Structure 1
């Protein structure tokens, strides 16, 4: 999805929140996202990507993706404590590949704390991710 389309879609979501809560245009909308437990679209996409990566790493499903995601401990000679939770980033030189699903998924997964990546249950994993993203959104609320 292009940046322009993402911004248009986010504006549409903002308009919907403004309509539901009768929020004026000059008011900040983030508190209403938090109040309704709704994540912004970028965060929702990130959670969907991370949910797929979680199912690939924990359960090997779907199989055709599992060969693309290898932890650093599988690739390197030395074993580290965090190596089993960090994914190996594919080498790339182009901006197009930098925006690919594989690179984005590795980046998002590697940014997660180990307490989140070590969760085995899919439902608990997604719930923890949503809580984490909502807390981050709450930290961005203007005073």
Structure 2
């Protein structure tokens, strides 16, 4: 089964959100973008739907939280290298994002967190392919390193 993932984010400024995600190298699908929402295409099966808070509220009876003060979820995306993680964060910071905490380096995995201008949480990470296959403890043991904690 092939599935597509659509992650819905609230925004208080749709134009600012579109500009931010385009600055990261993603594109906006105009067929699913209007004054209420923007479809941000990450790849063929992964999309962010950036919705005005009011429009997002039409999909649920629950309160729409303010991502600047409340965390509902964090989305993590893989990169091809540690350098690619740093490059993505550099683009994001230049486009108005913020980095809420220092980079996390576990030896087998390197990650950096990002908040978009609305406070929605994204993580960019690189994991050594062998660590993904073997598991972090086995990989670190093979490397002669002690586990640094769980990610």
- Do Structure 1 and Structure 2 share a fold, with TM-score over 0.5? no
Q: TM-score, normalised by structure 1?
A: 0.23
Determine which structure has the larger strand proportion and give its number. 2
Asked which structure has the greater RCO (Cα within 8 Å, sep 6+), the reply is 1
Determine which structure has the larger helix proportion and give its number. 1
Q: TM-score, normalised by structure 2?
A: 0.22
